[in-house]
Structure 1
């Protein structure tokens, strides 16, 4: 979002450099194979978000990884998820040897098929078991447009404790530790501060995860855009978050933000999702 804002403010600068595009895009003949390999390797990497149950089992904890892209985003996420977690205060109870047999995407639904080892999943803590299933679901529904996840084992509907696998799983936001007390401008201020510090995961998690928002971006696109903007100094650190107004539904708000370097004000949208205010993906006004 900040890249969009700064792009609006600094459009003349980009236009001034447009005449140099051809020259700067030319690859010197002296470029080595090593340089080309490094560029290709960078392009093959993708930033993903994975969720794992917290040790007490009451919530999910998010972590980010920069990994090699493998065929599709959903396959990449699942293969990394099955490698487990080394993040403190999180749990991984997927049985050893569990493999991803197949994964496919049909419109807004992801269908995954796991090997038979998954049937042996067990724990005395029912909350951890339930949240392990939703750690898979919530990791996949981070992909914009994905609303449903179907889990199968060796092509069949698994029977694990009292969990029903008959119907598709949907995103479960109740097991996220989200702030349900702060006002829209407080959430936006925190999100903008995270971005100004380059804390991409923390900042991204304060964005709306509304499945129907067509402006929504996956974490990888968000990170790469903002890393570029950050490196070029286009993410403002000198801003003042002001007052806000809420619409009649009580679910949408506009927050005034003043960028002190340019003395320009913009209204940035916020949306309430399950009692928590989050930054909307819609362009600022």
Structure 2
């Protein structure tokens, strides 16, 4: 941010010099410079507003949903942007379009832990006439939106009628919650293994893969959204804090929670020295261990 600020100040100074040489009247010069620079600042600020999001699309075999990260312009509510990006379809190989591209958002509203979404009737139109298409279509949206911390339920409507009122969708009554069973990801039976893999992915800057090994508990107040997670880790990486020189030790388990010992090392005078020992938390969700959003001990 300091470098960007210095660059912007330098640019403004140059523009002021150019305008002062061009205009004779000081008052006119000041007003013109102000107007031009204000417009430039607004455009620069707007162009810098980008958000990393996670979307779910079915794989080409139509068995499970696969995660895809995407950097989008932050010009709308994050909830509406997520739905619109699902409608656009996947940008990476190995995934399939699942929602008709003609679908539009009529209304989207968040209240507490519930998000109400109202879509046009185009949402009901099948693309492939696949037997599991409706199921994947519903949870492509539900799982993408419940990636947002604090959103636990989706109340889905089509043309102001609840989704369960339409033929073929009768099973989707009431509020819809996250469905982890159809997300393609490896299951970890050991807290030490999942933490080791997650930390390795972070040092490789594979943010999506690393984030997918973090707890997705909607009620966890410490949970960061993917965009916050990426920005935070990039700042830590730039500061040189993320260090590849560490060792994973033992762990202790209490019911569905565990703490894993991690030893961080540094070098002083050519000698490898223990910098710090931390206990990092993991949590068991749906029979698989994930890294928890808790402060290290």
TM bracket, shorter-chain basis: 0.7 to 0.9
Match of 2:245 among 210, 229, 238: 238
Match of 1:30 among 7, 10, 26: 10
Q: Secondary structure at the match of 2:115?
A: strand
Pairing 1:133–2:145 present:
no
Quote how far apart the aligned CAs of 1:55 are.
Answer: 1.8
Instruction: Identify if the C-alpha distance between structure 1 residues 183 and 116 changes in structure 2 by more than 3 Å, giving closer, same or farther.
Output: same
Match of 2:279 among 267, 271, 277: 267
More deviation, 37-46/159-168: 37-46
Matches of 1:123 and 1:151 in 2, distance apart? 22
Matches within 5 A, 1:76-115: 76-115=81-120
Residue-by-residue CA offset, 1:217-237 (whole Å, 9 max, x unaligned): 100000011111112212111
More deviation, 197-206/254-263: 254-263
Residue-by-residue CA offset, 1:10-68 (whole Å, 9 max, x unaligned): xxxxxxxxxxx99x977874234598567524641100000001122221100101101
Match of 1:73 among 73, 78, 81: 78
The match for 1:208 is 215
Q: Secondary structure at the match of 1:82?
A: helix
Pairing 1:276–2:288 present:
yes
The match for 1:256 is 261
Matches within 5 A, 1:149-168: 149-158=154-163, 159-168=166-175
Matches of 1:26 and 1:177 in 2, distance apart? 45
Instruction: Identify if the C-alpha distance between structure 1 residues 70 and 160 changes in structure 2 by more than 3 Å, giving closer, same or farther.
Output: farther
Matches of 1:195 and 1:37 in 2, distance apart? 34
Residue-by-residue CA offset, 1:82-117 (whole Å, 9 max, x unaligned): 111132221213223111111110100111111121
Residue-by-residue CA offset, 1:110-161 (whole Å, 9 max, x unaligned): 1111112112235443223201210100000000011100111111123141
Instruction: Identify if the C-alpha distance between structure 1 residues 110 and 162 changes in structure 2 by more than 3 Å, giving closer, same or farther.
Output: closer
The match for 1:7 is none
Q: Note if contact 1:207-1:279 (Cα within 8 Å) is conserved in structure 2.
A: yes
Pairing 1:50–2:55 present:
yes
How many residues are paired up? 263
Runs of at least 5 residues in structure 1 that lack an aligned partner in the other structure: 1-20
Instruction: Identify if the C-alpha distance between structure 1 residues 230 and 176 changes in structure 2 by more than 3 Å, giving closer, same or farther.
Output: same
Q: Note if contact 1:178-1:276 (Cα within 8 Å) is conserved in structure 2.
A: no
Higher-Rg member (1/2): 2
Residue-by-residue CA offset, 1:163-197 (whole Å, 9 max, x unaligned): 43431110001112333344111110100011001
Q: Note if contact 1:119-1:160 (Cα within 8 Å) is conserved in structure 2.
A: no
C-alpha RMSD of matched pairs (Å): 2.5
Alignment TM-score, normalising by the size of structure 2 = 0.81
Instruction: Identify if the C-alpha distance between structure 1 residues 188 and 38 changes in structure 2 by more than 3 Å, giving closer, same or farther.
Output: farther
Q: Secondary structure at the match of 1:46?
A: strand
Matches of 1:196 and 1:211 in 2, distance apart? 26
The match for 1:14 is none
Q: Note if contact 1:98-1:117 (Cα within 8 Å) is conserved in structure 2.
A: yes
Greater relative contact order, per chain length (Cα 8 Å cut-off, separation 6+): 1
Q: Note if contact 2:152-2:177 (Cα within 8 Å) is conserved in structure 1.
A: yes
Q: Secondary structure at the match of 1:78?
A: helix
